Amino acid sequence: MLVSIKGHGKEFDAYRTIFIHEYEMDLTRNHKLSEYEAHEKAVNIIDSAFLGEVGITNNSLFRIVKTISGAQHNVGYIWILSSKKDKSPFVMDFYILPEYRKQSLGTEALTELFYQLAQNGNTAITLRVDPDNQPALNLYKKVGFNITGINMARKLNSAPY
């Protein structure tokens, strides 16, 4: 169900387009960046993670594949950031394509990911979720994630408040 994607090619390009669009929306909504600033930041993050010098990063991108009516379908993506020192990978992005949502595919994909990570000696997994994304919050709670904190941000300017 989880198929590794290299940082190039048609499959990577499809994910890159989705990530940039989704992350731009998050940055403009939650971090009050301009559309231009959000686009630049989104492009920089994904390109530095996957298109930089090979072997420098510990980023892994997986395509979520599901056999439906006898044919394999790409139903989403999972981006993981791992550290050799820390056995607790971070989910940078988890995305189920809109037409495949509400079919328990997120639960299936995360369950498989947990199994694979545990088989490789990992002891925990973490992620950040938009507090307004109730479907994602529900999914993560359903598969055993606990809320460990709240991220907050403030734009800095000359006024103290």
The answer to whether position 39 is within a domain reads: yes
Instruction: Give SS3 for 27.
Output: helix
The answer to whether position 158 is within a domain reads: no
List of the chain residues with pLDDT < 50: 55
Domain count along the chain: 1
pLDDT at 145: 96
pLDDT at 156: 80
Full-model pTM: 0.88
The answer to whether position 42 is within a domain reads: yes
pLDDT at 34: 95
DSSP 73-94: EEEEEEEEE--SS-S--EEEEE
CATH number, domain of 130, equals: 3.40.630.30
Residue that the structure tokens 């994304």 belong to = 133
Domain around 114: 2-142
The answer to whether position 57 is within a domain reads: yes
